[in-house]
Chains A and B, each alone.
Chain A
């Protein structure tokens, strides 16, 4: 395996021309924190963007940050924190979950995978904060799209296509994101001992109130017991968690009102700053499935259908689950599995309930037979292929990754 670490977009361009002229594929990677996700790329040539580093422009007053794609998330987060801001979509850190400890999470990688944490339900996904880009396409062209301002409709929004494209359309070299102020205060209201169905009702009720909930998750008892957040791990019951953020007076007041509102569902407790922070990090980082390397599915579904989906799933297989996004994101670990990782049943059920399932951790990446996700509608599959063709007509970028046989 040969690795090339370009220092400039122009060097990426020549690397792509080289690959095109040799007709060979390139495996595109950043800091390696998501290595193995969505399968491995069958190529001897690795293009690593880790050298494209540096924050190019950050204007806290404009809520805009531009950085080279290989800049680490930890650097960006610490610079933002100094100015009292953050990436509001809470980029999760899956190093431990994917068995990639010691790797580095880059801005380009986070955007290319469109990963978002619990706050997605309130303020949006990574793609919603992705304002502008510079990239090198599979044609070897250096192009830009979007802008460095928060409001812009000039030309097609190619940023949206690149978010979640996993390096299959082009190699991001520069990324502009919208930043948001950090909340002064964070608290979490816990409801104890709810069934999954009750939890969905409680989360729905809270999210439909005017209390501006910025996180809504449910951990069944067997999951909650794994938590290191004080109280959650020791509660000995299932835990339904609702996060409230903002200025102090407001957080205190809203927690009071939310606790009262939720008391009709069950016993209510409150978590304060550090415990609250730890809990939501665990939820974002899939911490509860980090104690083994068994297959895990990510199921995105209409939030109110979360419990019904899981009930139906349990009739077909032995699973451990927990819910984020008010029920709209179900993390499913298979407790026993066959070669296909339960793929066909999982996808059919997700589809039936109006969502889709992605295999985020396979039992053996090298022998992975089940694609990351599937696009079943022939019209959508055709459009995906057309888009791929328009950016990377020779299919040299990350072939086989995530999109599997689709592209």
Chain B
């Protein structure tokens, strides 16, 4: 993975930049010594490391604005970072860039139950929002598995999902307002507590823009009343086809479960070894189906799903009878990554989405690839929405295995696109899938996306080296190839 070559001019301005930052940032908010900078050298995608030139930890939007203006003036690149939990290298630093850490933006500014929203600074963690509103019976719906650590600003940047997004949507469906700073230092406040606003949907395009368009400083999120009850089911099958058919029949019967997860045998057993959640070890595929809502509805739907599972050939069905039992059902799934981490020195988590009907084909192709690359794989799958997480097991200390794992991963993602799916369902492109973007998009598709980048960041200073395989200069992208009648089009239909 090649990152943009460091700009010697930017590196030479390091001390000038420190001097400028000291004018308005206290010394402890500027991290410049190499030992402390090490803490920022990678995010959740630990295969890639790069120490940043400097880290700034502003506390106010005003300071973020000043930092961005100075960086723009000096031509210094900027990489924003929330909690650094990105699995795609979204917060990977650049050697000649300043990293803006948003850890100090940790205040919940307002909770407005009447309008069912909360206004929070971007460094507040996802879980902290739900906890702050819990005693009033509310929660914030998107629940990425890193929710204890990941920040809401990072969630917006990555458009994070979670196990409940089949029913409750991704981050983009759950935010109403943003305050952000664009690279020239302008502070922009978008939306608010109303359900829409005038003009183009800038909140929509900023969500999932992976920190390439603006630095997010404040988010207004929707909060929802907590469902009265939730119950989960563990359904074991002797093949992934049967499990897949069961998922399809649940959806086509008109039921949208709160969550619907699938694990394959290696994942089931890794989780069981680790947690002892009571998963059926002999099953080839396990479904966890959660239904939430009014008690009477949940009980009714549980019995419906039970019948559908039996019809689909389920070997085992367990239904939770208490919240503790439900938590236990989930614990195995939620611990799947660390569980796999126990049985292998390293693992590489992929994140493609496929049309669910393609699941048997994709799973059997993954098994063939597993043999070809000589690496084992465990699969966890957000079965309801088709988001597949193959965990490729490898040992980084064995020369060549990381590369093999990456090649294996690329081949899986290419297959996802081939069967009508996409490269990433929730982890983002980042640096990880940057060079695969051409598998899914044409040159013209990517150019238009980059023009949107240029609309916000004409100097292309924000989060460089991410998302786009080739960077074109904004002036070049903006050029039109047709000039007032000078070019002729022989095939033109005349109106």
Residues of A participating in the B interface, judged by any CB pair closer than 8 Å:
2-4, 11, 14-15, 17-18, 20-23, 45, 59-64, 83-84, 114, 120-121, 124-125, 127-128, 137, 139-145, 147-161, 163-165, 169, 180-182, 184, 204, 207-212, 246-247, 249-250, 253-254, 300-305, 325, 328-329, 354-356, 358, 373-375, 377, 379-384, 386-391, 393-394, 403, 406
Contacts and interface: CB of A to CB of B under 8 A. Distances in A.
A153 B492 contact: no
Max chain B C-beta neighbours (<10 A), residue from A15, A64, A147, A157: A157
Contacts of A142: 444
A304 B189 CA distance: 21
B478 interface: yes
Contacts of B425: 149, 151-153
A153 B208 contact: yes
Contacts of B467: 155
Contacts of A139: 480
A149 B352 CA distance: 11
Contact of A249 (B172, B296, B495): B296
Contacts of A127: 201, 204
Contact of A121 (B195, B485, B488): B195
Nearest to A376: B198
Contacts of A210: 137, 225-228, 294
Given A15-B493, A157-B208, A128 B441 contact: no
Given A163-B204, A383-B455, A154 B423 contact: yes
A161 B201 contact: yes
A391 B423 contact: no
Interface string B413-453: 00000001111111111000100010011101111110111
Interface residues of B, number: 105
Contact of B197 (A14, A84, A141, A300): A300
A150 B208 CA distance: 15
Max chain B C-beta neighbours (<10 A), residue from A151, A163, A329, A393: A151
A158 B172 CA distance: 13
Contacts of B202: 380, 383-384, 387
A158 B441 CA distance: 13
Given A61-B248, A121-B195, A302-B115, A21 B293 contact: no
Given A18-B492, A164-B201, A62 B195 contact: no
Contacts of B353: 147, 149-152
B444 A141 contact: yes
A126 to B, nearest CB: 10
B205 A160 contact: yes
B143 interface: no
Identify the 3 closest CB pairs spanning chains A and B, nearest first.
A160-B204, A250-B297, A181-B254
A67 to B, nearest CB: 16
Interface majority SS (helix, strand, loop, mixed), chain B: loop
A149 B354 CA distance: 7
A287 B294 CA distance: 33
Contact of B448 (A62, A158, A208): A158
Contacts of A169: 200
B254 A182 contact: yes
B459 interface: no
B356 A394 contact: no
B194 A300 contact: yes
Contacts of A302: 112, 115, 192-194
A23 B484 contact: yes
B296 A250 contact: yes
Contacts of B266: none
Given A155-B440, A393-B478, 9 more contacts: A148-B355, A148-B420, A151-B425, A152-B422, A153-B427, A246-B297, A247-B300, A254-B294, A373-B198
Max chain A C-beta neighbours (<10 A), residue from B207, B225, B426, B486: B225
Contact of A373 (B172, B199, B452, B478): B199
Interface in B176-234: 182, 186-190, 192-205, 207-209, 225-228
Given A383-B456, A386-B455, A21 B297 contact: no
A84 B254 contact: yes
A180 to B, nearest CB: 7
Nearest to B494: A18
Given A210-B226, A302-B194, A250 B293 contact: yes
